[in-house]
């Protein structure tokens, strides 16, 4: 095989070669080689997202909130809980139809990290107004959604009847919600992610939207070594700050930026100087198994 050239993308290198006139690329990430019958880096990332490689993956995160003068995560619940040890959680609705035989959400799927800071996926059957315990205690919840419904959803009728809530079983803090107004969204909106243990995270792109009649400050943060439970702790650090964002702002990075090695938190927070403003953020990460 004859090398044709290379594009250096931070710690990720894509070397382009030609074999019998076909585009052929090799990606070298942390000393590991990954082959692809694609010529352009974008197509390499498509191979990653389609599961072509065993130890590379990508994840897209998005979230939204109503900002005010207090800085908060860009999530529907305005929270992203970060305990240092696993917490027993439960899921509940404010409508009885969100149950195993109801017309609303019958099952939900919850994705987060367990006590070992590894990703776990759990499906739970709803029981309406009665809380249902999520079997495996969690340190983080970064995505959940309705996975089975009693209604064939339409533009006027969603897949869950009431607001769904994940909360601590002890009657403590609320963690995350699926809203029903103005429409049952069926999916969490959490613009924060915790890279699991055993993976490294590289930022590929980000997009921010703020009510065009308002101006907000948006903070992109990270916290390394979230499994450190004794002093001294790793700090929560600002990665980027966007000042006076109004309307839309997007960036696709030419060079994937290394963020941190899991387990670590990354994501968006924001605030506005006066009044309130709707805001959302999306970002995409390349994940590399260590």
Instruction: Show the low-confidence residues of the chain (pLDDT under 70).
Output: 1-42
Q: What is the pLDDT of residues 31-77, one digit of tens each?
A: 555 544 444 566 777 778 777 888 899 999 999 999 999 999 999 99
Write out the two tokens for 238. Answer: 């600002």
The pLDDT of residue 181 is: 92
pTM: 0.85
Residue 29 forms beta bridges with which residues? 12, 32
The pLDDT of residue 19 is: 29
What CA–CA distance (Å, rounded) separates 276 from 92? 29
What CA–CA distance (Å, rounded) separates 289 from 127? 37
Q: What secondary structure does DSSP assign to 113-131, as a single string?
A: E-TTS-EEEEEEE-BTTS-
DSSP state at residue 8:
E
CATH number for 58-74+191-289 (one of 3.30.420.270, 3.40.50.620, 2.60.40.10, 2.60.120.1330): it is 2.60.120.1330
The pLDDT of residue 31 is: 54
The pLDDT of residue 41 is: 62
Instruction: Say whether 252 sits in a helix, a strand or coil.
Output: strand
136 with 101: CB under 8 angstroms?
no
Pairing between β-strand 22-29 and β-strand 12-19 as defined by DSSP bridges = antiparallel
* Residues making up the chain, counted from first to last: 290
Nearest to 149 by CA among 137, 141, 140, 161: 161
What CA–CA distance (Å, rounded) separates 282 from 198? 24
The residue ranges of every structural domain in the chain are 2-54, 58-74+191-289, 89-178
The pLDDT of residue 250 is: 87
Q: What is the pLDDT of residues 84-106, one digit of tens each?
A: 999 999 999 999 999 999 999 99
């Amino acid at each position: 095989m004859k090398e044709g050239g290379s594009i250096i993308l931070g710690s990720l290198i894509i070397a382009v070669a030609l074999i019998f006139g076909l585009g052929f690329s090799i990606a070298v990430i942390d000393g590991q080689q990954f082959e692809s019958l694609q010529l352009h880096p974008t197509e390499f990332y498509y191979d990653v997202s389609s599961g072509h490689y065993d130890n590379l993956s990508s994840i897209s995160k998005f979230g939204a909130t109503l900002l005010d003068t207090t800085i908060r995560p860009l999530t529907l619940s305005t929270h992203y809980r970060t305990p240092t040890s696993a917490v027993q959680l439960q899921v509940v609705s404010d409508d009885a139809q969100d149950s195993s035989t109801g017309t609303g959400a019958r099952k939900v799927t919850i994705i987060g990290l367990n006590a070992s800071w590894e990703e776990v996926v759990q499906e739970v059957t709803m029981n309406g107004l009665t809380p249902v315990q999520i079997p495996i205690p969690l340190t983080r919840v970064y995505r959940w959604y309705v996975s089975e419904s009693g209604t064939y959803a339409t533009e006027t009728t969603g897949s869950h009847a009431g607001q769904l809530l994940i909360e601590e079983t002890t009657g403590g803090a609320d963690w995350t919600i699926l809203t029903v107004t103005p429409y049952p969204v069926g999916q969490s909106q959490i613009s924060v992610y915790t890279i699991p243990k055993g993976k490294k995270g590289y930022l590929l792109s980000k997009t921010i939207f703020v009510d065009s009649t308002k101006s907000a400050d948006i903070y992109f943060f990270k916290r390394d070594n979230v499994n450190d439970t004794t002093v001294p702790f790793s700090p929560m650090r600002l990665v980027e700050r966007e000042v006076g964002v109004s309307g839309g702002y997007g960036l696709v990075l030419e060079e994937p930026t290394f963020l941190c090695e899991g387990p670590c938190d990354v994501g968006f927070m924001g605030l506005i100087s006066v009044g309130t403003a709707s805001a959302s953020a999306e970002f995409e990460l390349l994940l590399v198994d260590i």
